[in-house]
Amino acid sequence: MTNFSELNLSSSILKSLKRMGFEEASPIQAKTIPLSTQGKDIIGQAQTGTGKTAAFGIPLIGKIDNKNPNIQGIIIAPTRELAIQVSEELYKIGYDARARVLAVYGGQDIQRQIKALKKGPQIIVGTPGRILDHIKRRTLKLDQVSTLILDEADEMLNMGFIDDIEAILSSVPEERQTLLFSATMPDPIRRIAERFMKDPELVRVKAKEMTVPLIEQYYVKVQEREKFEVLSRLIDVQSPELAIVFGRTKRRVDELANALNLRGYMAEGIHGDLSQAKRLSVLRKFKDGKVDVLVATDVAARGLDISGVTHVYNYDIPQDPESYVHRIGRTGRAGKEGMAITFVSPREMGYLKIVEQTTKKRMMPMRPPSWDEAFEGQIRVSMEKLADVVKENNLTEYVNISKELLEENDATLIVAAALKLMTKEPDKTPVHITEERPLPMKRDGQKKSSSRRGKPSYSNKGGNGNRKPRRSGRREYNRDHHKS
């Protein structure tokens, strides 16, 4: 394996990669970064989950001239979800290099994007339709772009964006570096490469097989609005010693940690907005058993060395298989078995298939437990605790008083009363969890959604709460804010 320190990267990029928990380059990164740094055009044939964003993002950040406020790099992605994901990763890679990254996509207020474009971003990540819209409005000037990247080109072809892409390519200077990434290479993609690229180098990498033999893997098919109740009941039934719950966004992590505490669980959240001191404090509590449930984003949990985790709950299924393997790898360590349960909305079942293909292991379906089963699970926990105390046989001071109780009451009723006192009944305290849009639909591994689709609908409830939805506008990714 190649270490990032061997790839002749700047100290600022290495610092950011270390913060992200990246040490060894994936095969596509090890092959692409040196070629891209030399300024060569590249065709990368790679699946999602191979680390291609960092493969093109690291050399792109390395080329940015901070003294130049103009747009120097542009990345075209098929969907708003991918554009946001790529911009987030580029922000993190370029954090110490002080690179300014902006995502532009359909479904977001264009006037807000125009305002953000005036602040001098150096890298634009966007969907074809919205990029072209800005070009036509003359709010996006690409005359100083030196690097253009097409991400998931075959998906853009499938979604009918080929004309838009050609129009954008014609608006960028001919003297530039072009990188094209695609899982497959149909003829129209080859023709684009022939027309718009100069002697491209081909980098072909298969998604690596990732195995997790000691981890029992399950999925629960569940609607977004029902996820929290299912999570609560699973925790009650399974009584994990230490559990990690993964959420897709920082807001999600904060809301889940608050909701779990409201329901009587000892939970804490970690994400990219927390200070290093706060993160260390939370992790210390978790390792010491003062916190039962850790709620985390992917970035915050990357590289964590935690032992004793018995259960991982994927509240949101990750977009790529590599993230899934990183997540569930937190359990089943040191030869011990672990359990991973992934919540999947009906529209996200395609992502489940991709994860299964990558890990070479089928996930078993799990039926969500009922309230009664959750209650029974909590009683069983109390019963085991009671049995453990009896085994310890350190009860001399309590024997005489217990005899008095037995003279006046039935022994079965006394044990039942003790269990009642000890048992945490499943809590129905109302909580509010803001609903997130599902990932773009995939069928047989292919996305069906389009960034031209209508706006998403939002329920007027989250969890059990009856509050109005807090529909958060996506923020732009500059030095003042990022999302992980």
Q: Which pLDDT value is given to residue 422?
A: 74
Whether the per-residue pLDDT at 481 is higher than 60: the answer is no
Answer yes or no: is pLDDT of 207 > 60. no
Cα(371)–Cα(223) distance, integer angstroms = 17
Residue-number span of the structural domain to which 129 is assigned: 2-205
Same domain? For 260 and 125 the reply is no
CA distance 276 to 270: 10
Among the candidates 205, 235, 265, a domain finishes at 205
Same-domain pairing of 103 and 235? no
Contacts of 181 (CB under 8 A, 6+ apart): 43, 44, 45, 46, 52, 56, 149, 150, 151, 152, 153
Q: Is residue 477 part of a domain?
A: no
Residue 106 tokens, joined: 């359909």
Classify each residue of 260-273 as buried b or exposed e, where b means 16 or more C-beta atoms within 10 Å of its C-beta. beebebebbbbbbe
What pLDDT score does 299 carry? 66
Tens digit of each residue's pLDDT (9 = 90 or more) over 416-469:
887 778 767 767 788 889 988 877 765 444 443 333 333 333 233 333 333 333
Residue 456: per-residue pLDDT: 33
Domain boundary, last residue among 205, 220, 245: 205
Question: Which has more pLDDT, 288 or 42?
Answer: 42
Q: How far apart are CA 382 and CA 400, in angstroms?
A: 23
Query: With contact defined as beta carbons under 8 Å apart, do 146 and 124 qualify?
Result: no
Name the residue among 136, 10, 121, 12 with its Cα closest to residue 74.
121
Distance CA 176, CA 173 (A): 6
CA–CA dist 120, 256 (Å, integer):
36
pLDDT over 70, % of the chain: 85
**Position 187 confidence tier, pLDDT thresholds 50, 70, 90:** confident
Same domain, yes or no, for 460 and 408?
A: yes
CB 426 within 8 A of CB 372: no
Both 224 and 347 in a single domain?
yes
Residue where one domain finishes, among candidates 159, 181, 205: 205
Banded model confidence at residue 128, pLDDT cuts 50, 70, 90: very high
Q: Are residues 354 and 213 in the same domain?
A: yes
Non-local CB neighbours of 209 within 8 Å, separated by 6+ positions:
358, 359, 360
